[in-house]
């Protein structure tokens, strides 16, 4: 694994074609991320942090350049292969939690297991994961709207982890939480990093960025530091 | 149900239950229209078929209408009268052979007086020996004397007649008004396909008839009662060949139950088709409302679709989720529609036809599952585009929408 990094941006650009002209959100980014790194991405608003996360999460593909994840060129993968990589290799944690509103807390965590194994979970993984992130078991049957922000983010983390992904992508995971809850969530992420996950987190908060081993700062779509 | 996408669809329908129910009402109406109208048509056909089958073994031969026109009389060789002549009867006799029965029939309309009540009915003149070949005397005896007569069942009931009662034939003003003595009452016959409808008629002997009305040996019609129904087409073609020597100017018209029936059923089935088309239109309207509700559901759940897609849900799975929703709406509509069809169809059939004895026969009741299936299929088709649209969304755009 020394010669092939987990993630490699090779001269990646992302250009949005707008009526007012082309807008370059990512400008020739080259970057390598090794297995089990803890990375914070910082930068002013509009600098391209979320755009970069979308590339990492293969929700989108670069306009030019190449992006390798686990040694595979994402542009050369089929739509179904990308879907399966999102399901199996990557865990997402969003600022707005993005739980599935029609499912209970437990079902939200069970959902990725159902996607992967095409059947309801009988292994108890979902409950175990909820417990691991410190989610109150009595709340398992609650719908997302009945939970606090911190509780929702715990459920979201459990959901992201349940298929045991290599990479955790967190776009401002504490952005909608108070400081205390935010640090609790960061402690969970730290724990996951020490268990071997590669964690990439976008944040505006330098205190949060202190948790990371490496900080990447973006400015106008370029890496500034 | 193990499928989480089915659970999601059920919950979505439940969340918007009123809206879903209203959309399904279109399907309900369509299913009811299709199935109850289909059943109505079938019940009508079955009833007519049943009523006409009493004369299924009979070929009816009558003078061709064309010959009654002014041009017809000049080409007439034997007689200008409107009926089957003696020579034609002999030819028919030769054509049908001895295994099949031949019944020459006189008939006309007459006025009569019963006690002091005047009336009007059909009179049939028949050879008394022929009467028992195709009519049933339920009460009394066959005609023996010259002044003996039989009456139909409805006739007897209406005038409260008994054996031995007398009927005076003719108008008040007629010089001679002969009297007939009722010796027997016929069993009910219904609408018969052999063109002899006796329920409301008087039956007299052929001798009395020709005495009273003249026209001896010129019959209104000749019925051939075949021994084996399957020989009807053959017998008909022999008769046709013998009598209608010039196909351009046929002298006699030959018909039977199946040819009459096909005429009636074809006009009935065109009515049925028309009503079914109305049902089809209501389903089209239903399709639009289902489509609308599905599009609303997709548009309201854009962010949810974004979440599903971004965490690794396959497009096909998203499609399936929305198709389930269409199926649920369809099952809801088709289910309510099926039950309503049973109730409404039963009422319509019993009101319009007067009997429900054919209602539960397979060829009638099958319209309910058929209507339900069509309703369900319409729902699924209406859900195809919304489902496709949902599954092809860009996850990033979808996530961003509020
Ligand atoms: N779909 C799109 N179409 C056009 N322009 C886009 C699109 N998505 C992002 N952009 C533009 O790209 C630039 C980078 O956006 P991005 O969301 O990556 O910023 P960000 O660094 O995450 O900002 P923030 O800190 O506010 O979340 C912005 O100027 C934005 O307007
Ligand atoms: Mg952002």
Q: What is the pLDDT of residue B81?
A: 53
Q: State mean pLDDT over A6-33.
A: 94
Q: What is the pLDDT of residue B134?
A: 87
Tell whether A84 lies on the interface with B, counting CB pairs under 8 A. yes
Q: Which residue has the higher pLDDT, B191 or A10?
A: A10
Q: State mean pLDDT over A178-189.
A: 91
Tens digits of residue pLDDT in B330-350: 999 999 999 999 999 999 889
Q: What atom of ligand 1 comes closest to residue A218's alpha carbon?
A: 21
- 3-class secondary structure per residue, chain B: CCCHHHHHHHHHHHHCHHHHHHHHHHHHHHHHHHHHHHHHHHHHHHHHHHHHHHHCCEEEEEECHHHHCHHHHHHCCCCCCCCECHHHHHHHHHHHCCCCEEEEEEEEEEEEEECCEEEEEEEEEECHHHHHHHCCEEEECCCCCCCEEEECHHHHHHCCCCCCCEEEECCCCCCCCCEEEEEEEECCCCCCCCCCCCCCCEEEEHHHHHHHHCCCCCECEEEEECCCHHHHHHHHHHHHHHHCCCCCCCCEEEEEHHHHHHHHHHHHHHHHHHHHHHHHHHHHHHHHHHHHHHHHHHHHCHHHHHHHHHCCCCHHHHHHHHHHHHHHHHHHHHHHHHHHHHHHHHHHHHHHHCCCCCCCCHHHHCHHHHHHHHHHHHHHHHHHHHHHHHHCCCHHHHHHCC
CB A105 within 8 A of CB A147: yes
Q: Which residues of A touch B396 (CB under 8 A)?
A: 54, 59-60
Residue A170 token pair: 């967190």
Q: What is the dihedral of CA B364, B367, B368, B374, to 10 degrees?
A: 180
Domain boundaries, chain A: 35-55+79-218
Within 13 Å of residue A201, how many CA atoms lie on the same side as its CB? Answer: 33
Residues 308-327 of B with CB under 8 A from A: 308-315, 317
Contact B314 A83 (CB under 8 A): yes
Q: Is the pLDDT of residue B68 over 50?
A: no
Among B4, B306, B312, beta carbon nearest to A83: B312
Tens digits of residue pLDDT in B299-310: 999 999 999 999
- 3-class secondary structure per residue, B59-96: EEEEECHHHHCHHHHHHCCCCCCCCECHHHHHHHHHHH
Q: State mean pLDDT over B373-398.
A: 94
Q: Is the pLDDT of residue B243 over 90?
A: no
Tens digits of residue pLDDT in B254-312: 888 777 667 666 776 777 777 778 778 888 888 888 898 889 889 999 999 999 999 99
Tens digits of residue pLDDT in A56-77: 999 999 999 999 999 999 999 9
Among B8, B307, B396, beta carbon nearest to A98: B307
CATH class for the region spanning A35-55+79-218: alpha beta
Tell whether A49 lies on the interface with B, counting CB pairs under 8 A. no
Among A59, A101, A110, beta carbon nearest to B396: A59
Distance CA A15, CA B12 (A): 37
Tell whether B240 lies on the interface with A, counting CB pairs under 8 A. no
Write out residues with Cβ below 6 Å of ligand 1: A 16, 18, 23, 25, 43, 45-51
Q: Which residues of A touch B304 (CB under 8 A)?
A: 100-102
Q: Is the pLDDT of residue B53 over 70?
A: no
Distance of CA B119 to the CA centre of its chain: 32
Q: Which residues of A touch B15 (CB under 8 A)?
A: 102
Tell whether A122 lies on the interface with B, counting CB pairs under 8 A. no
Tens digits of residue pLDDT in B16-31: 888 888 888 888 988 9
Q: State mean pLDDT over A107-118.
A: 93
Question: Which of B119, B118, B112 has the alpha carbon at shortest distance from B212?
Answer: B112
Q: Which residues of B touch A88 (CB under 8 A)?
A: 312
**pLDDT averaged over chain B?**
86
CA of A26 to the centre of ligand 1 (A): 10
Tell whether A59 lies on the interface with B, counting CB pairs under 8 A. yes
Distance CA B157, CA B177 (A): 24
Q: Which residues of A touch B317 (CB under 8 A)?
A: 115
Enclosing H/E stretch for A26: strand A21-33
Q: Which residue has the higher pLDDT, B76 or A174?
A: A174
Distance CA B288, CA B194 (A): 51
Contact B311 A99 (CB under 8 A): no
Q: How far is CA A219 from CA A26, A43, A48, B265, in A?
A: 9, 6, 8, 83
Contacts of A108 (CB under 8 A, 6+ apart): A99, A100, A144, A155, A156, A159
Q: Is the pLDDT of residue A1 over 50?
A: no
Query: For A95-109, B111-125, B377-391, which range has the lowest pLDDT when averaged over its residues?
Result: B111-125
CA of A58 to the centre of ligand 1 (A): 16
Distance CA A191, CA A133 (A): 10
Tens digits of residue pLDDT in B161-220: 899 999 988 887 777 788 999 999 998 887 777 888 888 999 999 999 999 888 888 999
Kindly report whether the global pTM for this prediction surpasses the value 0.80: no
Tell whether B234 lies on the interface with A, counting CB pairs under 8 A. no
Q: What is the pLDDT of residue A190?
A: 93
Q: How confident is the model at residue B368 (pLDDT cuts 50, 70, 90)?
A: very high
Contacts of B128 (CB under 8 A, 6+ apart): B142, B143, B144, B205
What share of chain A has pLDDT > 70, as a percent?
A: 99
Distance CA B179, CA A118 (A): 93
Q: State mean pLDDT over B89-112.
A: 89
Residue B162 token pair: 């008994």
Q: How confident is the model at residue B78 (pLDDT cuts 50, 70, 90)?
A: very low
**pLDDT averaged over chain A?**
93
Contact A100 B12 (CB under 8 A): no
Distance CA A133, CA B401 (A): 29
């Amino acid at each position: 694994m020394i010669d092939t990094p987990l993630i490699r941006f090779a001269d990646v650009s992302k250009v949005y074609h707008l009526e007012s002209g082309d807008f370059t959100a990512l400008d020739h980014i080259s970057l390598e991320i090794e297995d089990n790194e803890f990375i914070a991405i910082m930068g002013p608003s509009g600098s391209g942090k979320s755009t970069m996360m979308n590339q990492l999460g293969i929700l989108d593909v670069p306009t030019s350049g190449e992006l390798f994840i686990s040694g595979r060129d994402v542009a050369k993968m089929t739509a179904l292969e990308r879907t399966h990589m999102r399901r199996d290799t990557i865990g997402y944690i969003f600022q707005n939690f993005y739980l599935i509103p029609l499912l209970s807390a437990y079902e939200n965590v069970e959902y990725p297991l159902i996607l992967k194994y095409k059947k309801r979970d009988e292994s108890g993984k979902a409950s175990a994961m909820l417990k691991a992130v410190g989610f109150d078991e009595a709340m398992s049957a609650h719908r997302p709207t009945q939970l606090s922000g911190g509780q929702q983010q715990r459920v979201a983390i459990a959901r992201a982890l349940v298929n045991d992904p290599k990479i955790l992508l967190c776009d401002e995971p504490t952005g909608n939480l108070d400081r205390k809850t935010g640090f609790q969530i960061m402690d969970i992420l730290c724990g996951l990093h020490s268990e071997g996950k590669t964690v990439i987190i976008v944040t505006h908060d330098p205190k949060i960025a202190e948790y990371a081993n490496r900080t990447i700062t973006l400015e106008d779509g370029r890496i500034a530091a | 149900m193990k499928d989480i996408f089915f659970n999601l669809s059920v919950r979505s329908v439940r969340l918007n239950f009123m809206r879903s129910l209203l959309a399904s009402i279109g399907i309900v109406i369509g299913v009811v229209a299709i199935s109850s109208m289909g059943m109505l048509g079938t019940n009508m056909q079955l009833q007519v078929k049943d009523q006409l089958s009493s004369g299924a073994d009979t070929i009816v031969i009558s003078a061709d209408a064309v010959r009654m026109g002014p041009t017809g009389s000049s080409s007439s060789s034997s007689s200008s009268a409107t009926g089957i002549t003696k020579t034609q009867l002999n030819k028919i006799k030769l054509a049908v052979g001895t295994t099949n029965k031949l019944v020459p029939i006189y008939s006309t309309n007459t006025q009569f007086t019963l006690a002091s009540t005047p009336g009007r009915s059909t009179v049939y003149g028949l050879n008394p020996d022929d009467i028992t070949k195709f009519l049933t005397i339920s009460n009394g005896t066959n005609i023996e004397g010259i002044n003996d007569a039989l009456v139909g069942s409805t006739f007897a009931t209406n005038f409260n007649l008994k054996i031995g009662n007398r009927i005076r034939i003719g108008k008040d003003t007629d010089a001679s008004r002969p009297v007939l003595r009722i010796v027997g009452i016929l069993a009910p016959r219904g609408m018969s396909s052999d063109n002899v409808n006796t329920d409301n008629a008087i039956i007299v002997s052929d001798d009395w008839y020709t005495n009273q009305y003249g026209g001896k040996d010129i019959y209104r019609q000749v019925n051939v009662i075949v021994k084996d129904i399957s020989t009807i087409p053959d017998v008909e073609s022999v008769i046709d060949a013998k009598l209608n020597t010039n196909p351009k100017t046929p002298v006699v018209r030959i018909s039977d139950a199946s040819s009459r029936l096909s005429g009636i059923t074809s006009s009935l089935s065109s009515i049925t088709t028309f009503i079914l088309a109305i049902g089809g239109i209501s389903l089209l309207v239903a399709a639009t409302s289902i489509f609308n509700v599905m599009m609303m559901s997709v548009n309201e759940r854009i962010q949810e679709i974004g979440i599903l897609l971004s965490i690794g849900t396959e497009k096909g799975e998203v499609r399936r989720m929305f198709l389930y929703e269409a199926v649920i709406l369809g099952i809801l509509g088709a289910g309510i529609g099926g039950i309503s069809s049973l109730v409404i169809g039963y009422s319509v059939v019993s009101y319009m036809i007067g009997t429900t004895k054919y209602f539960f026969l397979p060829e009638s009741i099958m319209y309910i599952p058929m209507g339900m299936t069509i309703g369900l299929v319409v729902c699924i088709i209406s859900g195809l585009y919304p489902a496709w649209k949902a599954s092809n969304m860009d996850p990033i755009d979808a996530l961003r929408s509020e």
